[in-house]
Structure 1
Amino acid sequence: MSKAEFIENVAAAGDMSKAEAKRAVELVFGEIEKGLKGAKKEGKYTIGTFGTFTISKRAARMGRNPQTGEAIKIKASKVLRFKPAAQLKDAAGC
């Protein structure tokens, strides 16, 4: 689903104009982004019955170039993970 389709669905479900729905969606996404930026130290950002975002660290490791088989270094990185809350899992049938 594209962001435009998501906004259309919110507008239809909320009985509002597309402009109002876009503003609401942008506010929600903005708050999630702000929360994640604030959670850099803790590494965790929880949204009630929606789920929990966690920031994990991947250690540096050795890998292989699949074309040549040559060993290469893969540097350390951070990864954003999401674990849905039980209520969200139930809604998805998981």
Structure 2
Amino acid sequence: MNKKELMEAILKDKELSHLTKKEAELFLNRMMDVVKKTVKKGDDVALIGFGTFSKVKRAARMGVNPATGEKIKIKAKTLPKFKPGKAWKDMM
């Protein structure tokens, strides 16, 4: 499911059928912006029953180039992380 299909699924909900596509898109975009900015700042976004968005630091490490077998240094970096909530994991 892509973003457009997600918006269409939201609009099919009886309680949200009064929204226009533009309003649904605006809401979805704003929600994603808030989650990204909050996580970038270092705070977690926890949606009970769904999951938690957070930021993790990956340490520098040594790796191997699979084509040549040469050892290479992989730089440290910060990445976004999503951990599904218990209710979602149980549902699966």
* TM-score w.r.t. length of structure 2: 0.79
Query: Are residues 1:26 and 2:55 paired?
Result: no
Query: Are residues 1:36 and 2:54 paired?
Result: no
Gaps of 5+ in 1: none
Q: Quote the Cα distance in structure 2 between the aligned partners of 1:68 and 1:8.
A: 48
Calculate the aligned-residue CA RMSD, in Å: 1.8
Aligned residues: 89
Gaps of 5+ in 2: none
Q: Quote the Cα distance in structure 2 between the aligned partners of 1:20 and 1:12.
A: 14
Aligned CA distance change for structure 1 residues 26 and 11 (closer, same or farther; 3 Å): same
Cα deviation code 1:12-37 (max 9, x no counterpart) = 22213211211221222122123213
Q: Quote the Cα distance in structure 2 between the aligned partners of 1:26 and 1:37.
A: 16
* TM-score w.r.t. length of structure 1: 0.77
* 4+ aligned runs moved over 3 Å, structure 1: none
Sequence identity, in percent? 39
Q: Quote the Cα distance in structure 2 between the aligned partners of 1:63 and 1:25.
A: 38
